[in-house]
Amino acid sequence: MKRSFPPLARSIQLASALVVVILAWAGATQAAPAQQGAPAATSQIFLPLVAQAGRPATQTTPQPTPQPTPQPTMLPVEPTTAPPPSGAVPIQLAREWFAGNLTSISFYDRNSGTWSKPNGLGELYAFATDGTYTYGGALSIQNGACLTEVTVYQTGVARAQAEDLDLEATFSRTRTLVVCGSKSDTTTETLPPIKRIPWRVAIGAQGRTELTLGAGSEAKAFALRGIDEPLLGAWQRDGVSSNGFYNPATGQWAQPSGDGEWYRFAADGRFTYGFYGQQTNEQGCLVTLWVYQAGEFSMSGSLLTTRSTSGHGRLENNCTPGEVTEEPFVDETLGQFTWTVSASNAAERLELLTVMPFRSRQFNRE
């Protein structure tokens, strides 16, 4: 049976609508450590000397009147703010890391002191290179008809050594909500003691960057929220290369030897994608399709999301030689994948997995 080849817009949608939305992730926010005021300095006033009275004047040879020596004016010292404790972390640690499905710390408003519901459960750390950090944690326990929720928000200073990480909280709020017939909602402000834990950043078994805090049975893995370097670069499937596939400036297309597709991911969060395929329609004509897309992508642990912002498509039919359909096209389908990178015989391989409908595609690094 011969397969039909639909018109260009529908063909491009069928060829490049590769994924469906499986879940959404929120961004994380950061807050700065609390500052402590220093007491104001006392103003100092200098009075002139007064000559002693009651003694007769003594005749002397007139002397030049000495000029007073200028004295520095002592101005009041303005109150200063005590600097926060200093810290520092290496660049590979200065990222956002999460465990569970908590991907935002916006559940606490530090200005108003109000709480909102977290977007998930788990833990999240956001480290800056100057050593400041923000931490969020959310836990929920259901025991019969009783519900207990504990939410933690902290900011502080991190100091990283080769193997250990010291975390000193300078601001801390913990909310405990208990619903068990009646409702209890309390917030505590106790600062925890300085915590020292082993740390390590490395590529995990799935080819993704992970932060491990703790050691032995206490070790806990955190996924990276942000651009993960193992994904970056060009990946091709079935021999169709990104090199020279399409030139947006000239409109020139390559002529691959077989069907396939490719992705190219850049460190600035931009991506390009190409697809090439041939099939025979009901009239027995060979139809050839090219698709080129450009856009932006985001990463949160194993989740990769792509969104096209520009693109082009081309359609040829060998039964009507010389007649080419070519027009701008943007695939508006949001691409969401679970991604892994593995190595086989020293060759890297990228797997993109979609769930609804289930589909797995393997790409080799160019």
Kindly give, in sequence order, each residue whose CB lies less than 8 Å from that of residue 285, ignoring residues fewer than 6 positions away: 5, 317, 318, 319, 320
Plot region of 331 (φ>0 → left; ψ -120 to 50 → alpha; else → beta): beta
Distance CA 145, CA 147 (A): 7
Where do the structural domains in the chain lie, given as residue ranges? Answer: 8-20+229-365, 96-202
Tokens 């193992």 locate to 230
**At 34, is the pLDDT very low, low, confident or very high (cuts 50, 70, 90)?**
very low
Whether pLDDT at 317 is above 70: yes
- Per-residue confidence (pLDDT) for residue 57, from 0 to 100: 41
Average pLDDT score over residue span 307-326: 95
pLDDT tier, 70 (very low <50, low <70, confident <90, very high otherwise) = low
**194 phi and psi, to 5 degrees?**
-60, 135
Name the more confident of 322 and 268. 268
- State mean pLDDT over 266-277: 98
| pTM check: above 0.85 | no
Q: How does residue 66 score in pLDDT terms, banded at 50, 70 and 90? A: low
Distance from chain centroid for Cα 304 = 12
Residue 345 confidence (pLDDT): 78
> 143-200: per-residue pLDDT in tens?
999 999 999 999 999 999 999 999 999 999 999 999 999 999 999 999 999 999 999 9
Question: Lowest mean pLDDT: which of 24-28, 316-320, 346-350?
Answer: 24-28
CA 34 to centroid of chain Cα atoms: 23
Q: Which residue has the tokens 């400036």?
A: 249
Task: Identify which has the larger pLDDT, 67 or 263.
Answer: 263
Whether the per-residue pLDDT at 16 is higher than 80: the answer is no
Separation of alpha carbons 322 and 157, rounded Å? 67
Judge whether residue 344 has pLDDT over 60: yes
CB 85 within 8 A of CB 157: yes
Residue 355 CB contacts under 8 Å (≥ 6 apart), including other chains: 20, 22, 338
Using pLDDT thresholds of 50, 70 and 90, give the confidence band for residue 356. Answer: confident
Q: Which residue has the higher pLDDT, 239 or 55?
A: 239
**Region class of 71: left (phi > 0), else alpha (psi between -120 and 50), else beta:** beta
Which two structure tokens, joined as six digits, stand for 81? 């703010």
Structure tokens at 223: 């996924």
Mean pLDDT of 35-63: 39
Provide mean pLDDT across the span 14-18. 38
Which carries the bigger pLDDT value, residue 94 or residue 72?
A: 94
Task: For residues 294-312, give the mean pLDDT.
Answer: 98
Backbone angles phi, psi at 13, to 5 degrees: -65, -40
What are the pLDDT digits (tens) for 192-245? 999 999 999 999 999 999 999 999 999 999 999 999 999 999 999 998 999 999
Strands 270-280 and 260-265: antiparallel
Q: What is the average pLDDT value for the chain, to the nearest integer? A: 84
The per-residue pLDDT for 239 is 86
Contact (Cβ atoms closer than 8 angstroms) between residue 155 and residue 34: yes
**pLDDT of 301 higher than 80:** yes
Rounded to whole angstroms, the Cα distance separating 98 from 96 reads 7
Q: Pick the more confident residue, 120 or 30.
A: 120
Residues 109-152: pLDDT tens digits?
Answer: 999 999 999 999 999 999 999 999 999 999 999 999 999 999 99
